[in-house]
Amino acid sequence: MPELPEVETICRQLAPYLSGKKIARVKVVDPLITAPEKARAFSRRVNGQTIESVSRRGKYLLLNLKSGDTLVFHLRMTGRLTQARLPIGKNYRQHLRLVLELSGGSALTFHDARRFGKAFVLSPDEVEIYWKKLGPEPLERSFNVRYLERVVGKRTRPIKSLLLDQSIVAGVGNIYADEALYRAGIHPERPAGEIDSAEAKRLAGAIKATLRRAIELQGSSIDTYRDARGGSGSFQNTFRVHRREGKPCPGCGGTVKKIKVGGRGTYFCPSCQK
C-alpha cells in the first residue's frame, strides 16, 4: 500500500544515502521478487553498478545506474526498502527478499511479507516504453482541471476506479483516492463522465492538496509501512474517512460508511459526498 507519498518519502531518504555508491554484491533471497527474470540475470545487470541517482515515478522507486539501466522497485502491499549495515542480523531476516550490498559496508534491504513486491531492471528503451503506459504525475502542472475533464470524458466507471487507474494518473492508491474524493465532496461511485467542470476542479485540487500534505507528514503508517530509516509517517492520524467505518465524519458528524468499489474497500461520508 505504499503510494506516492510513501514512495516519495523513501526516495528522499535514499537519494543521499545511495547516490554515488557502488553495488558490490546482489543477493536475491527470494527469486519471486525478480520473476519472471531469473535471479542470475537480474544480478548480472546490477552487480558492480554505480548508483548515479534515485528518483520516483508514480509508485515506482528508481535507482538510476551508471550503465544507463534503471533498477526499478515496486513495493505493492507490504514491501519495505531499508537502509542497513552489514552483516544483516539474524532477527532481521524474516521476509527478507533482496539485499544490495554497497561499497563501504552499508546495504539496501528489501523485505516483503506478502511477496507481491517487484524488483526489475529496464534498459533506456524499455524505460521509455514503460513510463508511456503511466499517466501524468499528479503533482505536476500537466495534471490539472483540463486534463481531468478530458479523461473522465463519457466514461461510465466509478470515479474512484478511474483515480486508481495508473494509466490515468500515476501514484494514487486506495488511501489517497478515498481522502481526495472526500475532500472534493464527490461520491466514489459517481460515473466518471458525470463529473462536471466545477467538480473536476475541486478534485484536481483535492488530489494535489492531499498528496502534498501526506508527503509533509511522511506518508501513512498503517499495516506494515515504514520508511527507509524504519520510521513511521503520520498522515494516518489525519484520515477523514479512510479506515474510519462507523466513526463520525469530521465535516457533518454523520457516520462514515464502507462499501466496495471496483473490488476495493472504500470509505466515504454519504452526506458530504454526492
Partner DNA sequence: CGTTAGCCCTGCTGGC
Partner DNA sequence: TGCCAGCAGGGCTAAC
CA angle (165 as vertex; 235, 223 as ends), nearest 5: 35
Is 180 an interacting residue with respect to DNA (CB under 7 A)? no
Q: Which three cell numbers stand for residue 157?
A: 466507471
| Beta carbons of 78 and 224 less than 8 angstroms apart | yes
Instruction: Build a one-symbol-per-residue string for 82-121: x at contacts with DNA by CB under 7 A, - elsewhere.
Output: -------------x-----------------xxxx-----
Q: Which three cell numbers stand for residue 243?
A: 479506515
Is 164 an interacting residue with respect to DNA (CB under 7 A)? yes
**Distance in Å, CB of 24 to DNA, minimum:** 28
Residues 235-274 that bind DNA (CB under 7 A): 260, 262-265
Is 138 an interacting residue with respect to DNA (CB under 7 A)? no
**Distance in Å, CB of 71 to DNA, minimum:** 16
Spatial distance between the Cα atoms of 176 and 3, rounded to a whole number of angstroms: 8
| Number of C-beta neighbours around residue 182 at 10 A | 27
87/193 with CB nearer DNA: 193
CA angle (221 as vertex; 108, 244 as ends), nearest 5: 160
Is position 240 annotated as part of the catalytic site?
Answer: no
Dihedral of alpha carbons 193, 194, 197, 201, sign: negative
**Distance in Å, CB of 31 to DNA, minimum:** 10
Which positions lie near DNA, rule CB under 7 A?
1, 3, 32, 58-59, 74, 76-77, 95, 113-116, 133, 155-158, 161, 164, 166, 173-174, 192-193, 260, 262-265
